[in-house]
Amino acid sequence: MNPIAQALSARRVLVCVGAGGVGKTTVGASLALLSAAGGKSSLVCTIDPARRLANSLGLKELGNQEATIPPAELARAQVPAKAPMSAMMLDMKQSWDELIERAAPKDVKARILQNRYYQTLSTKLAGSQEYIALQKLWELSHQRDYGMIVLDTPPTAHALDFLDAPSRILDFLDNDAARWLLTPALAAGKFGLHLFNLGGSFAAKTIAKFTGAQMLSELADFMFSVRGLYDGFRDRAKGVRQMLESDQTSFVLVTTPMKERLGETVHFHQVLRQNGMHVAAIVANRVHTAPPPEAKEQIARAPADLRERLATTLAEAELLAKDDQEALAALARDCDQTPIVRVPRFELDVHDLAGLWKLGQLLIEG
Ligand SMILES: Nc1ncnc2c1ncn2[C@@H]1O[C@H](COP(=O)(O)OP(=O)(O)O)[C@@H](O)[C@H]1O
Ligand SMILES: [Mg+2]
């Protein structure tokens, strides 16, 4: 059985991972469409989709809103959906704010939301996008009754960035040094510049030098406000990890067959497997297909002034196809536990339901 078809029937959560621009969002949307056609109510949770793709999924603005694609739209694109297909665009900042709203005690919520360190945590800290995307996935899978949720992910070149995201957030929240340094003063009600009276320890001076007094007091305030949240974050991280490892979930590693990308993809695959994750398939997207054998004869019959240019184009296409074949052979050798599904490069971008459906057919045939 085709590995994608198998994953669509056996799993409840599919996570599309891979570097930026390889086709994660497109493949993710196609997978959800296939799943809806297979009779499971399906959701694709996209991250930063191209505008035209978002439009064709019925998504107009960010905001974590799930939208069901009207059946008439599916019918117009000749998608034989047996169950509803929904889509959403993940809003990172809003998801973080909602998490704090739920997790933080009333009296500190506003303080956290306004704190500059929180804003760094929620938008810029490495891993924070991955963390919140996984968190949202956990919530959706526990609070909604979709038969299939496909998660698109932020572009991540290294699998470890992805899998380590929760622990990185935990490290940030559990900065022992900062805590040790700041908490006694905070508990004593000393804020702001008073922190400089901490005894002039080396650590205090160093932090102050790099962050400035204002930032130091905000860091102190942040550490103080989040001090009760650590356990909740740790439990949630554990829940997410269990979901990713469970047999409900599988990963789809999307890549392109470029030679330069090979090492990165092989490593990504290795790390996922070493961490106990199930990888349903590697999707090699935008593969250059070899020109058909009759192309040469057709060129021979072309008008003389065109012949040379056509022959050059043909030679280039053959070379691109040959390069891709070699890269895919190497990929198959280095990831031999996981099937590779090939999707050819289309002439045009994939930005509507008909295109997604066509790509989907190739995913379950390839
Ligand atoms: N097989 C394909 N053939 C042609 N264009 C493709 C194919 N797959 C994806 N694309 C296009 O490539 C671009 C990047 O795809 P996208 O899914 O947004 O990548 P990612 O989410 O990995 O950044 C989009 O414009 C998409 O329509
Ligand atoms: Mg994307």
Would you place residue 45 in the very low, low, confident or very high pLDDT band (cuts 50, 70, 90)? very high
Q: Which of 26, 258, 324 to mutate to test the pocket of ligand 1 (most atoms within 8 A of CB)?
A: 26
Q: Which amino acid is at 312?
A: T
pTM passes above 0.85? yes
Q: Residue 68, SS3? A: strand
pLDDT at 190: 46
Taking the CA of residue 254 as reference, the ligand 1 atom at the shortest distance is 22
144 close to 84: Cβ distance less than 8 angstroms: no
* DSSP H or E stretch at residue 328: helix 304-334
Taking the CA of residue 21 as reference, the ligand 1 atom at the shortest distance is 23
Q: 292 alpha carbon to ligand 2 midpoint, in Å?
A: 32
DSSP string, 200-221: --HHHHHHHHHHHHHHHHHHHH
17 close to 144: Cβ distance less than 8 angstroms: no
Residues of the chain with pLDDT > 70, as a percent, come to 86
Taking 80 as the threshold, does the pLDDT of residue 110 lie above it? Answer: yes
Taking 50 as the threshold, does the pLDDT of residue 192 lie above it? Answer: no
Ligand 1 contact via 350 beta carbon (within 6 Å): yes
Q: Which ligand is nearest to the CA of 254?
A: 1
Q: Which of 129, 253, 282, 349 to mutate to test the pocket of ligand 1 (most atoms within 8 A of CB)?
A: 349
Identify the DSSP state of 293: T
Q: Which ligand is nearest to the CA of 53?
A: 1
Residues in CB range of 179: below 8 A, 6 or more apart: 223, 227
Residue bearing the CA closest to ligand 1, atom 8: 23
Taking 50 as the threshold, does the pLDDT of residue 349 lie above it? Answer: yes
pLDDT at 204: 54
Taking 70 as the threshold, does the pLDDT of residue 313 lie above it? Answer: yes
Q: Residue 264, SS3? A: helix
Would you place residue 196 in the very low, low, confident or very high pLDDT band (cuts 50, 70, 90)? very low
pLDDT at 33: 97
Nearest-Å Rg of the Cα atoms of the chain is 25
- Residues with CB in 5 Å of ion ligand 2: 25
pLDDT at 255: 96
Residue bearing the CA closest to ligand 1, atom 9: 23
pLDDT at 314: 93
Ligand 1 contact via 11 beta carbon (within 6 Å): no
Model pLDDT for residues 211-234, shown as the tens digit of each residue: 555 666 777 777 778 777 888 888
- Bridge partners of residue 44, in order along the sequence: 87, 150
Taking the CA of residue 346 as reference, the ligand 1 atom at the shortest distance is 3
Tell me which of 168 and 205 has the higher pLDDT.
Answer: 168
Model pLDDT for residues 12-40, shown as the tens digit of each residue: 999 999 988 999 999 999 999 999 999 99
Q: Which residue from 168, 146, 160 is spatially nearest to 45, judged by alpha carbons?
A: 146
Q: Per the structure block, which two tokens stand in for 154?
A: 């932020």
DSSP string, 107-164: HHHHHHHH-HHHHHHHHTSTTHHHHHHHHHHHHHHHHS--SEEEEE----S-HHHHHT
pLDDT at 198: 45
Taking 50 as the threshold, does the pLDDT of residue 194 lie above it? Answer: no
Ligand 1 contact via 28 beta carbon (within 6 Å): no
Ligand 1 contact via 22 beta carbon (within 6 Å): yes
Own/partner contacts of 344-348, CB < 8 Å, gap of 24 or more, are: 344/286, 344/287, 344/288, 344/289, 345/286, 345/287, 345/288, 345/289
Q: Residue 53, SS3? A: helix
pLDDT at 63: 79
What's the whole-number mean pLDDT along residues 183-199? Answer: 47
Ligand 1 contact via 19 beta carbon (within 6 Å): no
How many Å separate Cα 352 from the centre of its chain?
Answer: 21
Q: 22 alpha carbon to ligand 1 midpoint, in Å?
A: 6
pLDDT at 122: 80
Sign of CA dihedral 150, 153, 157, 163: negative
By DSSP bridging, strand 67-68 and strand 85-89 are antiparallel
Q: Per the structure block, which two tokens stand in for 212?
A: 């400035």
CA dihedral 257, 261, 262, 264 (to 10 degrees): -140
First to last CA, the chain: 11
Taking the CA of residue 53 as reference, the ligand 1 atom at the shortest distance is 27
